[in-house]
């Protein structure tokens, strides 16, 4: 850890090669996608390198890496559940191909990709406080009271902030919903 903190690339390379495959296998158990597991682990290890100067552990490197990987996997799973709910709602309400069914095959994949991109763009256009509250609610799975405590506002203010965020997202995504 000290060597990595000092910027020793060889020490980081050793850490990377020692933990990359075991972390990928571990994360795969949560996300069920080798590509996503690899992305999560690569992002985690890249963050370790970027923040090496301030990186501090209160235990073993292994415990830290596996805990951080698990948390990132949980966050991905939560975000994916939210995206699935949005896709199901969009499919149900779109009626693009008739009888309440969404597009099929390649059209469906293109539709989903466009929906994800539109949702990401819409999220980026939200005011900072709305985006923060939305992230804490849907990605963090926090209650209004917990969000209020984290943001330093009341639960009622959180409710109003989320209502405005949902309204803005619905307006941005009218073509999909």
Give the domain ranges of the chain: 2-75, 103-172
Q: What is the pLDDT of residue 105?
A: 65
Question: What does the alpha-carbon distance between residue 34 and residue 162 come to, in Å, rounded to a whole number?
Answer: 34
Average the pLDDT over 51-62 and give the result.
87
Which tokens belong to 116? 């994800």
Give CATH for domain 103-172: 1.10.10.10
Nearest C-alpha neighbor of 50 from the set 40, 42, 59:
42
User: How large is the average pLDDT for residues 139-152?
Assistant: 82
Higher pLDDT, 97 or 62: 62
Which pLDDT score, from 0 to 100, does residue 73 have?
92
Rounded Cα distance between 120 and 136, Å, is 16
Q: What is the pLDDT of residues 19-29, one digit of tens each?
A: 999 999 999 99
Predicted local distance difference test score (pLDDT) of residue 100: 46
**Spatial separation of the C-alpha atoms in residues 72 and 79, rounded to whole Å:** 10
Go through 159-175 and write b for each residue having 16 or more CB atoms within 10 A of its CB, e for each that does not. Answer: eebbebbeebbeebbee
Identify the pLDDT of residue 99.
Answer: 44
CATH of domain 2-75: 1.10.1740.10
As given in the structure block, the two tokens for residue 59 are: 């235990």
Q: 111 or 3, which is more confident?
A: 3
Other residues' Cβ atoms within 10 Å of the Cβ of residue 119 = 19
């Amino acid at each position: 850890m000290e060597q990595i903190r000092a910027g020793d690339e060889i020490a980081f390379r050793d850490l990377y090669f020692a933990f990359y495959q075991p972390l990928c296998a571990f994360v795969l158990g949560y996300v069920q996608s080798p590509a996503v597991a690899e992305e999560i682990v690569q992002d985690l290890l890249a963050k370790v390198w970027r923040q090496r100067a301030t990186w501090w552990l209160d235990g073993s490197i292994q415990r830290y890496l596996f805990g951080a990987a698990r948390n990132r996997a949980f966050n991905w799973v939560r975000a994916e559940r939210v995206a699935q709910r949005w896709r199901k709602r969009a499919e149900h309400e779109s009626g693009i191909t008739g009888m309440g069914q969404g597009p099929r095959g390649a059209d469906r994949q293109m539709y989903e990709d466009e929906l994800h991109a539109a949702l990401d763009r819409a999220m980026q256009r939200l005011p900072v406080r709305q985006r923060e509250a939305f992230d804490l609610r849907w990605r963090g799975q926090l209650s209004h009271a917990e969000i209020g405590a984290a943001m330093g506002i009341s639960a009622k203010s959180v409710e109003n902030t989320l209502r405005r965020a949902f309204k803005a997202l619905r307006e941005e995504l009218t073509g999909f919903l």
